[in-house]
Amino acid sequence: MILCGTPSTRMLMISKNLHIGTSGWSYMHWSGVFYPEDLKPDKYLEYYITKFDCVELNSSFYHLPLKSTVSGWMNRTSDTFRFCPKMSRFITHQLQLSNAEEPLIRFIDVFAAMKARLGPALIQIHPGLLYDRALITAFFNLLQEKYSEYRFAIEIRNKSWINDDFLQLLSIYRVAFVIADSGRRYPYHEAVTTGFIYLRFHGREQLYATDYSENDLRQYAEKISGWLYDGKEVWAFFNNDFHGYAVKNALRLMEMLNTE
């Protein structure tokens, strides 16, 4: 699908509603591939923001940053730059969404100062967790009651979650279904459940280490163009960080959508 209207109108629509980036920026192996070889790692973020307007904070899945670190990220980026934090694995993988009220308070509290600068927060479900309507409903109720001012997207990794009942719940609670491309490693499904769409690109043939082809990216560019035309906001993050494929593919997708 091609966006209609004048070129300036199309560009405005795209730039306002489209956000493309990578899952993190602090990769030493991007030196000489994306970052200049003489650039010090403590300046990587400053360089990253010259190319992208958002980043997925994959690191917050493994350990919560300090509030001072979050403040530092804000000070080093512009007011228009957006961060999408990934929910702590303590909540999603260890507790598996049960009894999550206290750790959720800690997670949200860390990023509270960044509230105006946040995109959707990512919730990644443990691959071994089967769909449980009562469990996910209770978790969504907690998010709605305590954190309705935040947006959330959920990535499933077990095919039992791909069902009409779950997708209906996502629409009711206005949580985005993450369209995650990981080849055959995890189940793939496309669904639009709210006003924004969240995509993750993990690599196909080899997880985190596959370069997306021109044809692969073109197909997604067409899909994204259609969603933008329908007035949706799109967030897309590349997690195939090996060999700098993530930045290469993200920049190429941006180019295809005429956002550079």
pLDDT of 205 reads: 86
pLDDT band at 2 (very low <50, low <70, confident <90, very high): very low
> Taking all residues of the chain, what is their mean pLDDT, rounded to a whole number?
94
Is residue 1 a part of any domain in this protein?
A: no
pTM of the model: 0.93
Tell me what the mean pLDDT of segment 103-132 comes to: 97
- Residue pLDDT, tens place only, 197-234: 999 999 998 889 999 999 999 999 999 999 999 999 99
What pLDDT, on the 0 to 100 scale, is given for residue 13? 52
Number of domains making up the chain: 1
pLDDT tens figures, 47-103: 999 999 999 999 999 999 999 999 999 999 999 999 999 999 999 999 999 999 999
Indicate if the pLDDT at residue 139 is higher than 70: yes
How many Å apart are CA 115 and CA 83, to the nearest integer?
9
Residue 2 falls inside a structural domain: no
**Helix axes of 101-111 and 133-146: crossing angle, nearest 10 degrees:** 40
Q: Is 204 inside any structural domain?
A: yes
pLDDT digits (tens, 9 = 90+) for 171-183: 999 999 999 999 8
We report the CATH number of the domain holding residue 69 as 3.20.20.410
**Does the pLDDT at position 3 exceed 50?**
no
Residue 84 lies in a domain: yes
pLDDT-above-90 percentage for the chain: 90
Domain of 203, in residue numbers = 7-256
